[in-house]
């Protein structure tokens, strides 16, 4: 399983949520490292086309909020590729569930967040374990969040809870399956320069005050850490969470 850092020659990766942001950067970086890349997006569009072209890969469309979507996505990826060497669970939503909002809004926010951020990645992990068992091993990189450790604002409790679940799931599967050469890693970014980052001037100033490094991370920085994990360069780090947050939360 171990390989040179950043070398993905001859490997095939699936990257979810790859139409923009971290996912698009991870797909492009993996392609530049020699991998064949299968990209996932919720639906077609200009961003998906651009990401697929940059990564020289094929795009698979699946709405991860729908029951069974993660399992269907993995089945289609395996059908297209024949074999996967690594899976990057990056897709996620950042949906508010205000405490003072309506009961319906609260319930919908939690249900959608858990479906996309927890249930779909869990289904993908399960399918990946079965696939990797048949193929002699593989790697799963789960993109979680700083919020999974320290929490988030009260309107985004569902998001924080979902990312905490992803971290716990990663540790559980690493402990269970690393002996079969099926490795699991988690990445926990803080603010990243994507659509989820604060956009208005005042919120951006407040976010930067909380980051000793003085800036939010770039998608390419997170992609580099994903690539390190997916390369298999350090199997003994299986089960670990890599923080990418500019020292805004140091464990």
State the Cα–Cα distance between residues 52 and 58, nearest whole angstrom. 6
Positive/negative CA dihedral, 80, 84, 90, 91? positive
pLDDT band at 196 (very low <50, low <70, confident <90, very high): low
Going from N- to C-terminal start, the domains of the chain cover 12-244
Digit-coded pLDDT (tens) for 157-181: 999 999 999 999 999 999 999 999 9
12-244 in CATH: which number?
Answer: 3.40.50.720
Q: What is the pTM of this model?
A: 0.93
Say how far residue 119 (Cα) sits from the centre of its chain: 13
SS3 71: helix
Dump pLDDT digits (tens) for 67-118.
999 999 999 999 999 999 999 999 999 999 999 999 999 999 999 999 999 9
Neighbouring residues of 142: CB distance < 8 A, sequence distance ≥ 6: 89, 121, 125, 166, 167, 169, 170, 184, 185, 186, 187
Catalytic residues: 159
């Amino acid at each position: 399983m171990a390989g040179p850092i950043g070398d993905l020659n001859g490997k095939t990766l699936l990257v979810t949520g790859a139409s923009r942001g971290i996912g698009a950067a991870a797909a492009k970086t993996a392609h530049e490292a020699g991998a064949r890349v299968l990209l996932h997006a919720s639906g077609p569009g200009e961003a998906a086309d651009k990401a697929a072209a940059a990564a020289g890969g094929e795009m698979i469309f699946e709405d991860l909020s729908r029951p069974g979507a993660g399992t269907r996505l993995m089945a289609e990826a395996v059908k297209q590729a024949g074999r996967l060497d690594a899976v990057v669970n990056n897709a996620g939503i950042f949906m508010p569930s205000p405490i003072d909002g309506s009961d319906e809004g609260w319930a919908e926010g939690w249900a959608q967040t858990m479906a996309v951020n927890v249930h779909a990645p869990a289904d993908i992990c399960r399918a990946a374990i079965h696939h990797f068992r048949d193929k002699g091993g593989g790697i799963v990189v789960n993109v979680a969040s700083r919020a999974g450790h320290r929490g988030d604002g009260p309107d985004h409790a569902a998001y924080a809870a979902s990312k905490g679940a992803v971290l716990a799931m990663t540790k559980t599967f690493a402990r269970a399956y690393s002996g079969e050469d099926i490795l699991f890693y988690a990445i926990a970014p803080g603010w990243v320069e994507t659509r989820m980052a604060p956009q208005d001037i005042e919120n951006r100033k407040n976010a930067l005050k909380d980051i000793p490094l003085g800036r939010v991370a770039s998608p390419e920085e997170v992609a580099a850490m994903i690539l390190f994990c997916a390369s298999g360069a350090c199997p003994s780090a299986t089960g670990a969470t890599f923080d990418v947050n500019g020292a805004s939360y140091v464990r």
